[in-house]
């Protein structure tokens, strides 16, 4: 479902809906679903002292994340945007050291270097060798890296501040606040019935559906395995981008993408290894 974000965005851009407006409606339609879910389970209430953190989460992980990812898809295509999004594990490794005081071991440091090298290959490859149909746009590249950073902050917020609340509760507060900040920057365009269906779809499928399915998976399997399965997103995005829109990387782009995916796998495998050493029976 996350891999379909680019498909929805491409079709909505073709309907002359701006990236800002796509992010706005994605947040709002996703919010309606999470609100209904939270009310059904009677888990709407939160502590007043946690509201500043929830609203900060809304600004960083909704406003900034949604907008930066939509802009990246617009400017560098859905395939490259999805790969840049998965610089998130490198950001997590760095931020965990700075904010959570977790050790930055040799494997994590290697993964950070691999991720940086992968991004360099993707961004410099077209200049060095060519063979790519994906435009190199520095603003789009920065937007993709910002999407990776803000996506990584989901983990930091959850680990440090929001672990007491379920996913529907968190997004019931975060999504409307995030979309409210976007409101002054949105130029609302006239929309066809097709555009409205696409906007409802991106909110229900790529926000509510994707997060709900991911956390349902987390309740039934190890977080490491869920994280590995989630790497299917950029693969699916790249395949769909090629089939539907003719996007393809050059050799340096594919090499850079492979480095980023390898770094992600190294991070999650290292986490699993350390967890098994600490709790030998954790798989049972």
pLDDT at 163 over 90: no
Distance of CA 262 to the CA centre of its chain: 18
Structural domain boundaries, residue 246: 2-278
pLDDT digits (tens, 9 = 90+) for 120-152: 777 666 555 555 556 668 899 899 999 999 988
Report the C-alpha gap between 2 and 61 in whole angstroms: 15
What are the structure tokens assigned to 181, written together? 């900040």
Q: What is the DSSP string of 241-272?
A: HHHHH-----HHHHHHHHHHHHHHHHHHHHHH
For residue 238, tell me if it sits in a domain: yes
Q: In whole angstroms, what is the distance from residue 124 CA to residue 274 CA?
A: 35
Neighbours of 131 (CB within 10 A): 13
In-domain check, residue 183:
yes
DSSP label of 59: I
Residue 223 in this model has a pLDDT that exceeds 70: no
Q: Is residue 189 in some structural domain? A: yes
- Looking at the 3D structure of the chain, how many domains does it have? 1
In-domain check, residue 283: no
Residue-wise pLDDT tens digits, 190-216: 999 999 999 999 999 999 999 888 777
Determine, yes or no, domain membership for 284. no
* Predicted structure pTM score: 0.81
Query: Do residues 88 and 145 lie in contact, with contact meaning Cβ atoms separated by under 8 Å?
Result: no
The 8-class DSSP code of residue 165 comes to: S
| pLDDT attached to residue 283 | 46
């Amino acid at each position: 479902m996350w891999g379909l974000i680019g498909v929805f965005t491409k079709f909505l851009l073709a309907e002359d809906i701006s990236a800002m407006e796509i992010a706005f409606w994605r947040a709002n339609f996703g919010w309606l679903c999470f609100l209904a879910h939270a009310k059904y389970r009677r888990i709407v209430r939160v502590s007043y002292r946690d509201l500043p953190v929830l609203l900060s989460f809304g600004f960083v992980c909704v406003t900034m994340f949604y907008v930066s990812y939509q802009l990246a898809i617009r400017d560098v295509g859905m395939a490259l945007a999805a790969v840049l999004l998965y610089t998130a594990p490198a950001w997590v490794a760095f931020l965990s050291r700075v904010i959570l005081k977790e050790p930055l071991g040799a494997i994590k440091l290697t993964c950070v270097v691999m991720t940086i090298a992968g991004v360099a290959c993707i961004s410099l490859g077209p200049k060095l060798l060519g063979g790519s149909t994906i435009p190199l746009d520095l603003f789009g590249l920065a937007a993709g890296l910002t999407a990776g950073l803000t996506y990584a902050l989901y983990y930091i917020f959850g680990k440090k501040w929001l672990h007491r609340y379920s996913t529907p509760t968190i997004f019931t507060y975060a999504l409307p606040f995030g979309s409210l900040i976007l409101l002054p920057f949105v130029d609302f365009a006239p929309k066809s019935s097709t555009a409205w269906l696409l906007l409802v779809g991106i909110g229900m499928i790529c926000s509510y559906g994707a997060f709900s399915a991911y956390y349902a998976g987390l309740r039934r399997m190890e977080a490491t395995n869920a994280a590995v399965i989630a790497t299917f997103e950029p693969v699916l995005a790249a395949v769909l981008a090629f089939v539907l829109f003719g996007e393809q990387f050059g050799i340096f782009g594919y090499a850079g993408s492979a480095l980023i995916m390898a770094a992600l796998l190294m991070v999650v495998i290292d986490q699993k290894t350390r967890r098994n050493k600490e709790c030998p029976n954790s798989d049972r």
